Amino acid sequence: MLTHIDEKGRARMVDVTNKNITSRRASAVAFVSMSKETLKKISSGNIAKGDVIQVARIAGIQAAKKTPELIPLCHPLSVGSINIDFKTDMKKSVIRIEAEVTGMDRTGLEMEALTAAAVASLTIYDMCKAVQKDITIGPVYLDEKSGGKSGDYKRKS
């Protein structure tokens, strides 16, 4: 049964009113692949628009906070922290973005973590598109979540 569809097949927001407020955590990952030259420019701070990683971090944090405005049936949640890390792999010419969101609420923070990782990756593209148009984003996926009735989840490698 789909929880976001009512008995008549209409979209609806799930009612979480009577669920307990519990500690929640979710982490998501996104990858941005590019040429070695572009990655070197990002790493050395030679992108004309500025510090790509720091701007992408701020964009991801803002996106996580705005998730219910972007995803129609998401609840506004009490977000306690948002951390976004970037790992550069020069051999594979890729940036791995890891977004972690924690908080106390009645439903999970998976969408906030996914939105943070996705928007951080889009920001990298936006800041580097003048240098390279064929930058590739993906995959983007939920890596882990904890808390709530459905329990813990850890993506298998």
How many of the other CB atoms lie within 10 Å of CB of 2?
9
Domain extent, residue 40, equals 22-148
The model carries a pTM of 0.94
pLDDT surpassing 90 at residue 97: yes
Q: Which residues pair with 33 in a beta bridge?
A: 94, 136
pLDDT surpassing 80 at residue 102: yes
pLDDT surpassing 80 at residue 65: yes
For position 7, what pLDDT does the model report? 83
For position 5, what pLDDT does the model report? 82
Cα atoms found within 13 Å of the Cα of residue 97, Cβ hemisphere only: 37
Does a cis peptide bond (omega within 30 degrees of 0) precede residue 139?
yes
Rounded distance between C-alpha atoms, residue 37 and residue 93, angstroms? 9
Task: Return the structure tokens found at 80.
Answer: 């306690």
- Domain-located, residue 110: yes
Distances (CA, A) of 83 to 92, 94, 97, 104, 122: 24, 20, 10, 16, 17
- Domain-located, residue 114: yes
- Domain-located, residue 91: yes
Number of domains forming the structure of the chain: 1
Angle between helices 110-128 and 36-44 (to 10 degrees): 100
DSSP codes of every residue in 67-107 = HHHHSTTPPP--EEEEEEEEEEETTTTEEEEEEEEEEEESS
- Domain-located, residue 49: yes
Query: Cα 31 to chain center, whole Å?
Result: 11
- Domain-located, residue 4: no
In this structure, what CATH number is given to the domain that contains residue 131? 3.30.70.640
Catalytically annotated residues: 126
- Domain-located, residue 11: no
Mean pLDDT, residues 76-98: 97
- Domain-located, residue 140: yes
- Domain-located, residue 138: yes
Question: Where does residue 94 fall: left (phi above 0), alpha (psi -120 to 50 degrees), or beta otherwise?
Answer: beta
Which pLDDT tens digit goes with each residue over 14-24?
Answer: 889 999 999 99
